[in-house]
Amino acid sequence: MNPIKAKLLAVAVAGALCLVGGGAFFGFQHMQAQAATVGTLAAVSESAKARQLPSIDTMMPEIPEVVDPFYVLIIGNDSRDGTVEANTSAHSTGPSRSDTMMLTYIDPQAYRVTLVSIPRDTSATVNGQPGTKINEAYYHHGAQGAMDAAGELAGVSITYYLEMDFVRFDRFVDAMGGITVHVPIDMSLRDIVRGGTVSLSAGTQQLNGAEALVLARTRKPYGADQDAIRQTQDRQIVEAFIFKVAKELGLVSQGVDTLLAHVGTNWPEEELRALVEDFAEHADQIIIHSGTGPYDGRIFDEYGGSWLAYREEDTWREIIRVVEQGGDPQAVVPLPWS
| pLDDT, tens digit (0-9, with 9 covering 90-100), for 86-105 | 877 666 555 799 999 999 99
pLDDT value, residue 93: 52
Q: What percent of the chain has pLDDT over 70?
A: 78
In this structure, the answer to whether residues 214 and 317 fall within a common structural domain is yes
Is residue 141 located within the same domain as residue 251? yes
Per-residue pLDDT, 92: 53
CB-count burial class (<10 Å; 0-12, 13-18, 19+) for 181: buried
Residue 127 in this model has a pLDDT that exceeds 90: yes
Q: Which of 34, 59, 84 is the last residue of a domain?
A: 59
Give the per-residue pLDDT at 246: 87
Mean pLDDT of all residues in 13-34: 37
Tell me, yes or no, whether 158 and 298 share the same domain: yes
The domain tally of the chain equals 2
According to the model, what pLDDT value does residue 2 have?
40
* Selection from 168, 200, 185 nearest residue 78 by Cα: 168
Q: Please say if the pLDDT value at position 32 is more than 50.
A: no
- Does one domain contain both 52 and 192? no
Residue 261 CA: distances (Å) to CA of 146, 176, 191, 257: 22, 12, 22, 6
Is residue 84 included in any domain, yes or no? yes
**Structure confidence by residue, pLDDT tens digits, 206-245:** 999 999 999 999 999 999 899 999 999 999 999 999 999 9
Q: How confident is residue 293, by pLDDT bands cut at 50, 70 and 90?
A: very high
Q: What is the pLDDT of residue 63?
A: 55
- Do residues 327 and 224 share a domain? yes
Whether 337 is in a domain gets the answer no
Spatial neighbors of 86 by CB under 8 A, at least 6 apart, are 80, 92, 93
> What are the CA-CA distances from residue 234 to residues 150, 176, 201, 327 (Å)?
18, 17, 17, 21
Judge whether residue 42 has pLDDT over 50: no
Say whether both 31 and 177 belong to one domain: no
Q: What is the pTM of this model?
A: 0.80
Range of weakest confidence among 1-5, 54-58, 118-122, 317-321: 1-5
Residue 306's domain spans which residues? 70-331
44 and 113 both lie in a single domain: no
| Whether the predicted pLDDT of 259 surpasses 90 | yes
pLDDT given for residue 31 in this prediction: 38
Counting Cα atoms < 13 Å in the Cβ hemisphere of 111 gives 15
Same domain, 19 and 93: no
At residue 26, does pLDDT exceed 80? Answer: no
Last residue of a domain, one of 59, 85, 101: 59
Is there a single domain that holds both residue 44 and residue 96?
no
The answer as to whether 336 is a domain residue is no
Structure confidence at residue 90 (pLDDT)? 63
Domain match, 144 and 53 both: no
| Mean pLDDT, all residues of the chain | 84
Range 313-323 average pLDDT: 98
Whether residue 150 is predicted with pLDDT greater than 50 in this model: the reply is yes
Q: What is the mean pLDDT of residues 110-138?
A: 97
CATH number at residue 200: 3.40.630.190
Asked whether residue 5 carries a pLDDT value surpassing 80, the answer given is no
In-domain check, residue 123: yes
Cross-strand partners of 289: 114
Higher pLDDT, 209 or 248: 209
64 in any annotated domain:
no
Do residues 46 and 184 both lie within one domain? no
pLDDT of residue 186: 98
Q: How confident is the model at residue 251 (pLDDT cuts 50, 70, 90)?
A: confident
Average pLDDT on 174-185 reads: 96
pLDDT of 319 strictly over 60: yes
State the DSSP code for 4: H
**Residue 334 pLDDT > 80, yes or no?**
yes
Q: Which of 36, 59, 82 is the last residue of a domain?
A: 59
Residues 239 and 134 in one domain: yes
Mean pLDDT along residues 250-260: 91
